[in-house]
């Protein structure tokens, strides 16, 4: 039996999702985590006939995989979205009290990305309620995307699919590529000494200044390189610097954290080689320049094949619902698409319209939530039939 229209209204479900605190504790120590919102999703999905698996390697940080099993012989499709949000502290008004006004729904996570979660849950329920599909439909409602993406990594250890759609907000535009990133710490070594003894001390902060100038020059070279057709060029910047103990002492070390945004063809290894070349040149040309390079978190860039069946299927249904071909574009930020792609799952990103991601006021366009739901419903039935 097909559930009633009111029960399968994505905006009503979105209101319920916004009202649950799911701040990522990796971003804010007081963050509630994903447990409560995962409970809400579990109860809803179980009531609508899904087989729900709860993955919780990190206590209090669950991810869900809800499966509507097919009859066999069809392609499987995973819809992926993250349950966590950024913090509530700087939000204007009550971030957990959803408010509808002028065709928009306001609240923390409305845009990034509980709007996508609501749309994919309703779409999967609608698609499977209309009659059996041959392929499995999987909903991956994951933890921790806003910090380290531990949720999608855990999901991919146990589940796979023939294709995937990540419902991150994209303004109803089809995202087929995004940049990656690599974080490195550069520790510039000096020698501690009393401030009155320049003959004994080596100023690590002053030496680090040479590296900062070199980083700026590296950024200029990257900007002048041949750009990626969708993403442009890679970028680099110094994001954090620590050094020194007190005014009267030569600093023995200065640590600079570098973020390098990467495009397809670049990865942590190429960035490490790039930074090493810069630092080795400074060691040759700057007296007493000594360093250590330490690799941190890094994530690959992503680029989809536009001829993949999942891309062609979604483009067809988006054109039908929107009344025009959707814009195809790339994002400068990183998403879980890269993890799915690395796992051999063809994927793309497509989500709601709105604004205020990580900002003091956040909102999703209500009409876009409905359109996204309709597009996903048609894509699921077409791809998995």
d(Cα 288, Cα 226) in Å, to the nearest integer?
35
Give the model confidence (pLDDT) of 108-167 as tens digits: 999 999 999 999 999 999 999 988 899 999 999 999 999 999 999 999 999 999 999 999
**Amino acid 90: pLDDT:** 92
- pLDDT value, residue 2: 47
Q: Is 368 a residue whose pLDDT tops 50?
A: yes
β-partners of residue 328 are 174
User: Which residues lie closer than 8 Å to 61 by C-beta, 6 or more apart?
Assistant: 25, 33, 34, 35, 143, 144, 150, 151
Q: Evaluate if residue 1 carries a pLDDT over 50.
A: no
Q: How far is CA 239 from CA 23, 26, 87, 236, 299, in A?
A: 24, 19, 21, 9, 17
What angle, 0 to 180 degrees and rounded to 10, lies between the N-to-C axes of helices 10-18 and 115-129?
Answer: 140
> In the predicted model, what is the mean pLDDT of residues 94-111?
98
In contact, 290 and 254? CB cutoff 8 Å: no
Please write the tens of the pLDDT for every residue from 53-64: 999 999 999 999
Identify the DSSP state of 308: S
In whole numbers, what is the pLDDT of the chain averaged over residues?
97
Look at residue 366 in the predicted model and tell me its pLDDT: 98
Q: How far apart are CA 180 and CA 178, in angstroms?
A: 7
Q: In the chain, what is the greatest distance between 2 CA atoms, to the nearest angstrom?
A: 85
CA atoms of 221 and 233, how far apart (whole Å): 10
Q: What is the pLDDT of residue 132?
A: 86
Give dist(CA 106, CA 91) in Å, integer.
11
Per residue in 289-333, pLDDT (tens digit) is 999 999 999 999 999 999 999 999 999 999 999 999 999 999 999
SS3 at position 123: helix
- For residue 103, pLDDT over 50 is answered with yes
Averaged over 25-47, what is the pLDDT? Answer: 96
Domains of the chain: 10-178+302-384 (3.40.630.10), 180-299 (3.30.70.360)
What pLDDT, on a 0 to 100 scale, did the predictor assign at position 239?
Answer: 96
- pLDDT given at position 3: 53
| Exposure b/e, 51-90, CB count within 10 A at least 16 = b | ebbebbebeebbbbbbbbbbeeebbbbbbbbbbbbbbbee
């Amino acid at each position: 039996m097909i559930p009633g229209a009111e029960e399968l209204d994505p905006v009503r479900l979105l209101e319920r999702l916004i009202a649950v605190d799911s701040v990522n504790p990796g971003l804010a120590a007081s963050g509630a985590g994903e447990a409560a919102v995962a409970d809400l999703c579990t109860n809803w999905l179980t009531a609508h006939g899904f087989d729900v698996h709860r993955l919780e390697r990190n206590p209090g940080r669950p991810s869900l995989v809800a499966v509507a099993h097919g009859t066999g012989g069809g392609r499987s499709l995973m819809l992926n979205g993250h349950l966590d949000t950024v913090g509530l502290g700087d939000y204007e008004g009550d971030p957990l009290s959803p408010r509808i006004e002028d065709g928009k729904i306001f609240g923390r996570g409305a845009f990034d990305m509980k709007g996508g979660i609501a749309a994919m849950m309703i779409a999967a329920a609608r698609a499977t309620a209309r009659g059996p599909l041959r392929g499995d439909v999987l909903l991956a409602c994951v933890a921790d995307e806003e910090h380290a993406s531990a949720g999608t990594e855990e999901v991919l250890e146990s589940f796979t699919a023939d294709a995937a759609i990540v419902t991150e907000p994209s303004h109803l535009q089809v995202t087929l590529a995004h940049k990656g990133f690599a974080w490195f710490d550069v520790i510039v070594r000096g020698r501690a000494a009393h401030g009155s003894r320049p003959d004994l001390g080596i100023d690590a902060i002053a030496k680090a200044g040479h590296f900062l100038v070199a980083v700026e020059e590296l950024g200029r070279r990257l900007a002048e390189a041949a750009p990626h057709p969708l993403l442009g060029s890679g970028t680099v910047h110094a994001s954090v610097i620590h050094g020194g103990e007190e005014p009267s002492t030569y600093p023995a070390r200065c640590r600079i954290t570098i973020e390098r945004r990467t495009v397809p063809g670049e990865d942590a290894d190429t960035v490490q080689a790039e930074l090493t070349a810069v630092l080795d040149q400074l060691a040759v040309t700057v007296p007493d320049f000594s360093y250590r390079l330490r690799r941190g978190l890094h994530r690959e860039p992503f680029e989809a094949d536009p001829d993949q069946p999942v891309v062609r299927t979604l483009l067809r249904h988006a054109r039908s619902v929107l009344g025009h071909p959707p814009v195809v574009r790339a994002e400068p930020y990183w998403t879980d698409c890269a993890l799915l792609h690395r796992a051999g799952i063809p994927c793309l990103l497509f989500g709601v319209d709105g604004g205020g991601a990580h900002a003091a006021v956040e909102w999703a366009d209500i009409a876009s939530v409905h359109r996204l739901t309709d597009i996903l419903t048609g894509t699921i039935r077409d791809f998995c039939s």
